[in-house]
Chain A
Amino acid sequence: MKVFRYGDNIDTDVIIPARYLNAHSPGELAAHCMEDIDPAFAKAVRPGDVIVAGENFGCGSSREHAPMAILACGVKFVIAKSFARIFYRNALNIGLTPLESPEAAAALLDGAELFSCEAGGRIKAGKTYYQAAAVPEFLRGVSEDGGLLSAIKKRGTL
């Protein structure tokens, strides 16, 4: 499990540049994920890897292509000090787990090794266990149902 480390205010324009928004297949998005901030990312990333960042991850455009691209690379978790709100809800809606923990993110950005992270929010970095901010119950249910739209299909409404 490799960790990709980034700073504050990583915007959706660098996560997936607009020049690639004329397509939305997972493969095409994955090929250009993080291209404008880390051109090596798309080739280096492997399923199960984790992105760690500072404050306000995913700010800017509402493009869902950003969490889609990250998920398409096989990354299931983003750990950050904080998330921009549209990115946060987009991620939860499609099954990418945003773990908001300023302490865990700080330790990891300082170079601590990541041993584990779980959808429940438990993170082990270095010798310490951290607990990310709780996801509201309704949204945990959404994730268990396979995303917002599957949940709607199953329940007949939101």
Chain B
Amino acid sequence: MDQAIIIEKGIFIVVIFAITMLFAMYETLAERKIAAWLQDRIGPNRAGKGGILQPLADGLKLFSKEEFMPNTPNKFLFIVGPAISMSTALITSAVIPWGDKLHIFGRDVILQATDIDVAMLYVFGVLSVGVYGIMIGGWASNNKFSLMSAMRASSQMISYEVAMGLSLIALVMMTGTLSLRDMALQQHGMNWNIFYQPVGFLIFLVCSFAETNRTPFDLAECEAELIGGYHTEYSSMRMGFYLFAEYASMFISSTILAVLYFGAYNYPGMDWVAENAGANVSNIIGIFVLFAKICAFIFFYMWIRWTIPRFRYDQLMRLGWQMLIPLAIANIIITGIVILLSDGKL
């Protein structure tokens, strides 16, 4: 294999990893700040200017805390749980197109770790594996509340994966590809998928809330009933890993929402910039546009958190199985009919 490609991809992966971690870190601060603002408070403002060093302080605290191990027969699984959560939250970013391509040192650098044929299925597969982290951790804690929470989390994630997959099928029927890069390229200009698949987007949005275990679907961490949920028995950086994984997966799912439905790195007037200032400039602006979209989605996640109260378990299941899945199937049928009509085959 070309040595330059290996170096290029290596650097790229490290950069993406660092950005994901940085985002996850500052999401914790953003969450607290936005929560405070929405409740007419100020939020953390003591560590650094305006609380900018708060994540570091939190991390330092978590690292220096005593690591507590419950009396469990599965010490190994107890340790593996948070590790699985963290790694599954991180590896999704491999297939995401962060930008078009840059022309540096006389070669085209594609801003994507790998462009596989089945990228969307890959994202889906990683999501479905992510349940194991919570499940194994909750079970190995040897605690009834943790187990209950793990049960809730996994059943919720499995249920919503179905609706999520069905909502994506309509999108795939329309775009005709599973590669996220091709999808991003198709949305050039203002051809964003949200305009063609509004119902699909809504279903996907609700499901991604459920998949990341965020409010209003955070039954797994329901404090009033389950103490702390599946990480009740965890302390120190192991718990930090679970929290971190939640924020990392929030970042990733915001990215996927932006890539699938909101035109990825495309922005209106991209061609004009490319003509007048060069392709590199336009593509670099594209990266920033993508990150702006991601930040908007992250804000939306937090905004929703402080607006909608937590669902009850039966309400959650009814919403998933009795409303979202039929809606998604109807969406598929209608999309199919429209595609056939526009092709003139019906």
Question: Are A and B genuine complex partners?
Answer: no
